[in-house]
Amino acid sequence: MLGVFTGVAACSASALMAYAVRGRSAALFAPSVYRGTAARRSVALTFDDGPSPGTEQLLDILDGHGAFATFFQCGMNVERFPQTAHAAAAAGHEIGNHAWSHPLFCRLRPAAIDFEIGRAQDAIRQATGVTPRLFRAPFGVRWFGLRRAQNKRNLMGVMWSVLGRDWRLSGEAIAARVLRKVHNGAIVCLHDGRQLHPRPDLGATLEAVRILLPALRARGFAFETVSQIVCPTTH
Ligand SMILES: [Zn+2]
């Protein structure tokens, strides 16, 4: 299998390549966690691509339910909306790094991947006062150079076990999908931005979260951050 990876210089849309860079075999490029401990009835909601103007509404919804989540922020969006980035951290949510400009890493050289992660780390630290310990690759795509860039900043790679597909489904459909797939230790991927779009419509995501928070609670789930849910001894 190794020849498949070493022989490829550019990104391919083929199913094989999708598996190679997004599937578990991508640990060749950089290790990642996909789920938390199954020992507790807990779920980690994660939101990528923010902050955006809609993030404040999401923070209000989470606050109304006393739920904590994890935000994988893009550095460029943090620089656009530093107060929103700060508000998420100040409210007690965990902040992770989602690169500077949301590129496909399989189109970048290792030095560019390193730059993307370092610049986002700096922007997040400046806006929020927090130095992220978590990293989620844009599009979930990991590539040559990512392992080193993660390691030198002590970043843990985080994927997901439940993908909400909230960029294309209705709020009700997103919620139904998540409730169908959720499990103990689930890491659920949703979005409070759309890559670098300055004013994305988060309507479907917000509606889904309004449904999901009480529905998951009713099923006995507690909400944890990613750092909490990957730790077997949090409780
Ligand atoms: Zn993303």
CA of 76 to the centre of ligand 1 (A): 12
Residue written as token pair 């890559």: 195
Residue 177 domain flag: yes
How far is residue 23's CA from residue 30's CA, in Å, rounded to a whole number?
A: 11
Which amino acid would we find at residue 38?
Answer: A
Per the structure block, which two tokens stand in for 50? 């923010």
For residue 138, the CA-to-ligand 1 centroid distance in Å is: 5
Range name among 7-21, 89-103, 136-150 with the lowest pLDDT average: 7-21
Entry pTM: 0.91
Indicate which CATH number applies to the domain containing 70: 3.20.20.370
The per-type count for the chain, helices as H runs and strands as E runs, is 10, 9
- Dist. CA 138–CA 152, nearest whole Å: 19
Asked, for residue 234, whether it belongs to a domain, the answer is no
Residues 76, 100 contacting (CB under 8 angstroms): yes
Distances (CA, A) of 100 to 72, 113, 199, 235: 11, 9, 17, 34
Range of the domain at 115: 2-229
List Cβ neighbours of 214 (8 Å cut-off, separation of 6 or more).
Answer: 65
| HEC sequence for 91-159 | CCCEEEECCCCCCCHHHCCHHHHHHHHHHHHHHHHHHHCCCCCEECCHHHCCCCCHHHHHHHCCCEEEC
235 in a structural domain: no
Write the single-letter amino acid at 211: I
Residue 67 lies in a domain: yes
| Ligand 1 mean position, distance from CA 225 (Å) | 18
| Total count of domains within the chain | 1
106-165 tens-digit pLDDT: 999 999 999 999 999 999 999 999 999 999 999 999 999 999 999 999 999 999 999 999
**Residue 145 maps to a domain:** yes
**Does residue 101 lie in a domain region?**
yes
**pLDDT 10s digits, 173-230:** 999 999 999 999 999 999 999 999 999 999 999 999 999 999 999 999 999 999 999 9
Catalytic sites, residue numbers: 48, 191
Q: How far apart are CA 35 and CA 26, in angstroms?
A: 16
Residue 233 C-alpha to ligand 1 middle, in angstroms? 29
In a domain, 71, yes or no: yes
Q: Is the pLDDT of residue 5 over 70?
A: no
User: Is 135 within the bounds of a domain?
Assistant: yes
The gap between the terminal CA atoms of the chain, to the nearest Å, is 41
